[in-house]
Structure 1
Amino acid sequence: MSEAAETATSSFIAACVEIVGAQHVLTEAHDTAPYLTDWRRRYTGAACAVLTPANAEEVAALVRTAVEHRVALVPQGGNTGLAGGATPDASGTQAVLSVKRLNRIRDVDPHNNTITVEAGVVLAEIQARAREAGRLFPLSLAAEGSCTIGGNLATNAGGTGVLRYGNTRELCLGLEVVTPQGEIWSGLRGLRKDNTGYDLRDVFIGAEGTLGIITAAVMKLHPLPAARVTALAALASPHAALHFLALAQRFAGPLLTGFELMSDFCLQLVNRHFPPMRYPFESRHAQVVLLELSDSESEEHARGLFERLMETALQDGLVEDAVVAESLAQSQAFWNLREHIPLAQAEEGLNIKHDIAVPISRIGTFIEETDAAIAGAAPGARMVTFGHLGDGNLHYNVQAPEGVDAKAFLAQYQSPINRLVYDSVHRHHGSISAEHGLGQLKVDDAAHYKSEVEVRLMRALKHALDPLNLMNPGKVVRFNP
Structure 2
Amino acid sequence: MTADLIGRLREVVGPSGLISDPGEMAGYLTDWRNAYTGTAAAVVRPGSTEEVAGVVALCREAGVAVVPQGGNTGLCGGAIPDSSGRQVVLSLTRMRRIRDLDAANQTITVEAGAVLQSVQEAAAAAGRLFPLSLGAQGSCTIGGNLATNAGGTGVLRYGTTRDLTLGLEVVLPDGRVWNGLRGLRKDNTGYDLKQLFIGAEGTLGVITAAVLKLFPAVRSRATAWVALPGPQAAVDLIGVLRGLAGDRLTGFEIMSRQSVELVLRHSSGARDPFGDRHPWYALVELSDSLPVAGLDGVIESALGEAFEHGLVVDAVVAANPAQAAALWALREGISEAQNHEGPSLKHDVTVPVSRIPAFVEGTDRALEGAVPGIRIVTYGHIGDGNLHYNLSKPVGSGDEEFRARAGALARVIYDSTRAFDGSISAEHGLGQSKRGIIADYKDSLELDLMRGLKQLFDPRGLMNPGKLL
Question: What TM-score does the superposition give when structure 1 sets the normalisation length?
Answer: 0.96
Deviations 1:142-190 (A, max 9, x none): 1100010000000000100000000000000000000001000000110
Match status 1:437 vs 2:436 = no
Match of 2:185 in 1: 192
Partner-residue secondary structure (3-state), 2:362 = helix
Give ranges in structure 2 of 5+ residues lacking alignment.
none
Structure 2 equivalent of residue 5 of structure 1? none
State how far apart, in whole Å, the 2-side matches of 1:286 and 1:215 are. 45
* 1:9 and 1:48 in contact (8 A); partners too: no
- C-alpha separation between the residues in 2 aligned to 1:119 and 1:9? 29
Q: Which moved more, 1:97-106 or 1:444-453?
A: 444-453
Return the match for 2:406 from 402, 414, 419. Answer: 414
Structure 2 equivalent of residue 101 of structure 1: 94
User: What per-residue deviation string (whole Å, max 9, x for no partner) do you get for residues 263-320 of structure 1?
Assistant: 0111111111125211111211110000100123344511111111111111111101
Q: Deviations over 1:50-87 (max 9, x none)?
A: 00001111100111101110000000000101100000
Contact 1:228 1:299 in 2 (8 A): no
Partner Cα distance (2:330, 2:412) in 1 = 29
Q: Which amino acid aligns with 1:224?
A: A
Corresponding residue SS for 2:136: coil
Query: 448, 457, 465: which is aligned to 1:465?
Result: 457
2:219 & 2:149 partners in 1: Cα distance? Answer: 28
Matched, 1:423 2:418: no
Contact 1:351 1:406 in 2 (8 A): no
CA distance in 2, matches of 1:39, 1:251: 41
User: Which residue among 201, 210, 228 is the counterpart of 2:203?
Assistant: 210
Q: What's the CA shift string for 1:186-224, capped at 9, x where partnerless?
A: 001100000101110000000010000000000000001
- Looking at structure 2, the residues matched to 18 and 298 of structure 1 have their Cα atoms a distance apart, in angstroms, of 53
Partner of 2:170: 177
Structure 1 partner of 2:137: 144
After TM superposition, the structure 1 stretch with the greater mean CA deviation from structure 2, 297-306 or 77-86, is 297-306
Pair 1:19-2:12 in alignment: yes
Q: Distance in 1 between matches of 2:282 and 2:447?
A: 37
Residues 9 and 93 of structure 1 are in contact (CA less than 8 Å); yes or no, is this contact kept in structure 2? no
Residue 446 (structure 2) aligns with = 454
Q: Which amino acid aligns with 1:430?
A: G
CA distance in 2, matches of 1:185, 1:374: 47
Residue in 2 that maps onto 1:119: 112
Matched, 1:75 2:64: no
Name the amino acid aligned to 1:54: G
Structure 2: how far apart are the matches of 1:381 and 1:299?
Answer: 47
Preserved contact between residue 295 and residue 301 of structure 1 (Cα < 8 Å)? no
> Does the 8 Å contact 2:241/2:302 carry over to 1?
yes
Aligned length: 469
Matches within 5 A, 1:18-57: 18-57=11-50
Partner of 1:343: 336
Shift of residue 459 of structure 1? 0.5
Contact 1:356 1:394 in 2 (8 A): yes
1:354: how far off?
0.5
> What amino acid is aligned across from residue 333 of structure 1 in structure 2?
A
Post-superposition offset of 1:233:
0.8
Matched position secondary structure for 2:232: helix
Aligned to 2:290: 297
Query: Contact between 2:17 and 2:47, CA under 8 Å: does it hold in 1?
Result: no
Q: Note if contact 2:98-2:110 (Cα within 8 Å) is conserved in structure 1.
A: yes
Deviation at 1:98, TM superposition (A): 0.4
Aligned to 1:332: 325
How far off is 1:470 after superposition? 0.5
Output the CA distance in 2 between the equivalents of 1:368 and 1:64.
52
Q: Secondary structure at the match of 1:443?
A: coil
CA apart distance, 1:419: 0.7
1:159 aligns with 2:155: no
Q: CA deviation at 1:449?
A: 1.1
1:131 is aligned to 124
How far off is 1:453 after superposition? 0.8
CA contact (8 A) 1:177 1:212 kept: yes
Provide Cα deviations, 1:398-446, integer angstroms capped at 9, x if missing partner: 11111112222121x2111111110000111111011101111111111
Q: What TM-score, normalized by structure 2, do the two folds share?
A: 0.99
After TM superposition, the structure 1 stretch with the greater mean CA deviation from structure 2, 21-30 or 419-428, is: 21-30
Write out the 4+ residue segments of structure 1 that deviate beyond 2 Å after TM superposition.
296-300
Root-mean-square deviation over aligned CA pairs: 0.9
Comparing 296-305 with 237-246, which one deviates more in the overlay?
296-305
Query: Residues 150 and 216 of structure 1 are in contact (CA less than 8 Å); yes or no, is this contact kept in structure 2?
Result: yes
- DSSP-derived class of the 2:437 partner: helix
How far off its partner does 1:22 sit? 2.2
Q: Which amino acid aligns with 1:438?
A: L
Structure 2 partner of 1:399:
392
Instruction: Establish whether residue 265 from structure 1 lines up as the match of residue 265 from structure 2.
Output: no
Name the residue aligned to 1:3: none
> Which secondary structure state, in structure 2, belongs to the residue aligned with residue 68 of structure 1?
helix
Q: Give SS of 1:116's match.
A: strand
Please state how far the C-alpha of 1:118 moved relative to its aligned partner. Answer: 0.2
Distance 1:14 1:417 in 2: 47
Give the whole-Å Cα distance in 2 for the aligned partners of 1:296 and 1:88: 44
CA contact (8 A) 1:231 1:290 kept: yes
Q: Percent identity?
A: 56
